């Protein structure tokens, strides 16, 4: 029996490159989706009259970040505690003994998650 191995290295290189391209495309879509969630959360706060004198800096503390690991990507959206009023996120979302809840983050994510998955799915099917 004889076996001819043809284009094995080329095929392996192509598969390797394909994986990188897909991850790059998914990362780009997650970054864009995270920004959409941030804008949605800020809009929800404005709609509740939370900005202005009550929490003037809090909306700007909300951000998104995508971290890339060897096995996966993580999308994190929420207030950055080191920014002005960023540490107040749970109290704003869920309320406290001194203030009513102003839900904005979970609803914003729920409103945008299907679109994020759709865009990521398109990248997985069609590439960049």
Instruction: Convert the pLDDT of each residue in 68-97 to its tens digit.
Output: 998 889 999 999 999 999 999 999 999 989
Instruction: Count Cα atoms within 13 angstroms, Cβ side, for 43.
Output: 11
Given a cut of 70, whether residue 103 has pLDDT beyond it is yes
pLDDT at position 5 is 67
Beta-bridge partner residues of 65: 76
In a domain, 82, yes or no: yes
Bridging pattern class, strands 73-79 and 62-68: antiparallel
- State which residues form the domain around 84: 12-126
Question: Average pLDDT in the 29-34 region?
Answer: 96
- In-domain check, residue 6: no
Residue 50, pLDDT above cutoff 90: no
The mean predicted confidence, pLDDT, of the chain is: 88
* Helices and strands: H and E segment counts in the chain: 4, 2
Inside any domain, residue 4: no
Q: How many domains does the chain have?
A: 1
């Amino acid at each position: 029996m004889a076996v001819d191995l043809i284009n094995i290295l080329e095929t392996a290189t192509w598969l390797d490159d394909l994986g990188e391209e897909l991850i790059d495309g998914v990362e780009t879509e997650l970054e864009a989706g995270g920004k959409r969630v941030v804008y949605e959360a800020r809009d929800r706060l404005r709609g509740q009259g939370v900005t202005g004198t009550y929490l003037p800096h809090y909306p700007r503390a909300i951000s998104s970040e995508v971290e890339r690991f060897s096995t996966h990507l993580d999308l994190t959206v929420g207030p950055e505690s080191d920014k002005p009023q960023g540490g107040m996120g749970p109290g704003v979302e869920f309320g406290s003994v001194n203030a009513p809840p102003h839900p904005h983050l979970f609803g914003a994510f729920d409103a945008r998650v299907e679109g994020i998955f759709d865009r990521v799915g398109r990248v997985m099917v069609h590439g960049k």
